[in-house]
Structure 1
């Protein structure tokens, strides 16, 4: 007769022994990511313009994650200053995110190398081969974004050292495919380099599910944007706390002749005025008042400076409040270390429940 297996009920708090075993399992699942990043946790921070600067980046790295400076439109001298200021606040690893369309991309890569930055994230399109080669020849590891399996394979052939697959749930500029689908398309077929998942991640148990599918770690942005160490305006942060997932929507395009780059953010007066602005510009184009090129520029320039207004000045009504759908999981303004601890605890508790179910079924 098979002996009865004694198990704890699923709702009972984990014992110290259970948590220790689960934590070892979690660390094992994260090992490829932590080895690559050189961190305690396989948690990569999304690079967010106006938000991912020295204070937040150093706080994330000091808490065991991997902070990433958002270079954006910075000039080389300005980036060098930001790297130096960040290094003065942490002795832990951090990276720099560079936009591939930046006219001084190779100079920015050189700035990173001269400053001893070990990881360079190339975002905003397929990175030029020259930039990848320059970074790798200088001793840095290169991370790039793969929105499809065919591009993931191409990037690996180009020499990138790791990939991020980011779903449409993410905040800011997004693609059309959810992380759930991207993970199924890419993770089973890519093992040559670590793959970090991104988009809609707000809990550790959700990240755990992707680690079990083969991901090396996760990238989070929205949770960190509302962190206590973030320099974002308090109005910006508390808008996150009040928001629901359904409030984070992508920008709407009224006419296919005038493309609008999809950007996910919180719906507000600015996003409503953008629709009116598009309609007005299109009407003036159809009436012959403006050319097609002039109309496209008017539409594109509507949001000029809007992200800074929201993040720095706290104009959350007419500014661009970029946020992912995980904004509904932001319940309070928390220190970075507390956010990371919550993520790890949630993953550990999920592993304990998983083990109890398996024991019960056995």
Structure 2
């Protein structure tokens, strides 16, 4: 019986390796698991821990200057000899300089996020010897990016934390995975278990990107208050910011509801009242709304102010039950994936 069990386990692990081999080969990692790029969180400690655990860490450049990014890359390389990537925001005013910093320090993969990258930027990345990864919120855009030279796609559902689109990963996967086979496609949004990852691998995904589980890991530099909020949170607590009036657009951001989210609603209502009363111009009111969250993520992540800060989290936050080391998280995901494959085999080919 033990021999049969061990054989089943070995076969399931071989199947998992075969399913995400395209992702592993593309990333140069043992596991096709990317760390989501989270501002103030995805820095040297967490990124190196994910790569050292067999996954693929990604530095969140965010609003960093080229000099600050260089410092973070060098510090990360001192903590891991394994490959990792850098996530760059395409709207950053110093994008070209940031790309050059990555290339000069031999960063293997560059994720171009926050907008549609230009063909020139993609060529600059590839000509410099790095792999170019882009986000595809729709099939048409995915095809366009591939024609422009993007070498891998990430499709992120609305279940994710932070800035999100309107479509769930479940639907995006059905729309995109059957039709994009030229490049690896990584799935993201609401993923917190290995069996869920397997389900997308079987649909054609090359791997998965996770953020929320890693944000609450031991190696994450996020404040303990931030991690405790994640551990206590449920899926329904991770809500998307609400827009009160279409004349004043609000970028949808998913995070744990707190005093700040309630205050934001009142702030919008006050700006709307002042605008309708003629006390403030429309543009000024829009700026007041947009500036409400300025520095809010840092307040929560770094300072631990979980009442007045921004608690960006995906709906997978309900699966954060304890604060674990990154290596334990990746091992858990693999074991869950293997167990799922063994269960599937038992259902498809039941013992006679």
Give the TM-score normalised by structure 2.
0.98
Match for residue 44 of structure 1?
34
**Match status 1:270 vs 2:260:** yes
1:218-264: per-residue Cα shift (whole Å, max 9, x none)?
00000000000000000100110111000000000000000000000
What is aligned with 1:357? 347
Rounded to whole Å, the distance in 2 between the matches of 1:76 and 1:307 is 21
Question: Does residue 294 in structure 1 map to residue 289 in structure 2?
Answer: no
Residue 197 of structure 2 corresponds to: 207
Q: Give the corresponding residue for 1:158.
A: 148
RMSD over aligned CA atoms reads: 1.3
1:17 match: 7
* Equivalent position of 1:144 in the other structure: 134
Q: Aligned to 1:35, what secondary structure does the other structure show?
A: helix
Q: Deviations over 1:301-322 (max 9, x none)?
A: 0000000000001111110000
Q: Please say if 1:187 is aligned against 2:177.
A: yes
Over residues 142-171 of structure 1, what are the superposed CA-to-partner deviations in whole Å (9 max), with x where a residue is unaligned? 000000000000000000000000000000
What is the CA-CA distance between 1:359 and the residue it aligns to? 2.2
Other-structure match for 1:64: 54
How far, CA to CA, are the matches of 2:133 and 2:351 in structure 1? Answer: 41
Distance 2:134 2:348 in 1: 38
Equivalent position of 2:227 in the other structure: 237
SS of residue in 2 equivalent to 1:189: coil
Aligned partner of 1:123 in structure 2 is: 113
Correspondence for 2:308 among 305, 318, 335: 318
Structure 1 runs (4+) deviating above 6 angstroms are none
Per-residue CA shift, 1:107-132, capped at 9, x if unaligned?
A: 10000000000100000010121111
Deviations 1:252-298 (A, max 9, x none): 00000000000000000000000000000110011111100000000
Aligned to 1:5: none
Q: Which residue of 1 aligns with 2:95?
A: 105
In structure 2, the residue corresponding to 1:23 is in which secondary structure? Answer: helix
Could you say what secondary structure the match of 2:132 adopts? strand
Cα drift, residue 361 of structure 1: 7.6
Does residue 95 in structure 1 map to residue 92 in structure 2? no
Please say if 1:343 is aligned against 2:297: no
Query: 2: CA distance between counterparts of 1:289 and 1:237?
Result: 41
Aligned-partner Cα distance in 2 for 1:245–1:112:
36
What CA distance in whole angstroms lies between the structure 2 residues aligned with 1:318 and 1:103? 29
Aligned to 1:285: 275
CA distance in 2, matches of 1:216, 1:308: 33
- Unaligned regions of 5+ residues in structure 1, if any? 1-7
Measured in 1, the distance between the counterparts of 2:22 and 2:45 equals: 27
Secondary structure in 1 matching 2:8: helix
| Structure 2 counterpart SS, 1:231 | coil
Offset of 1:355 from its aligned partner? 1.1
Deviation at residue 17 of structure 1 after TM alignment: 1.8
In structure 2, C-alpha distance between the alignment counterparts of 1:63 and 1:347, rounded to whole Å: 16
- Count matched residues: 352
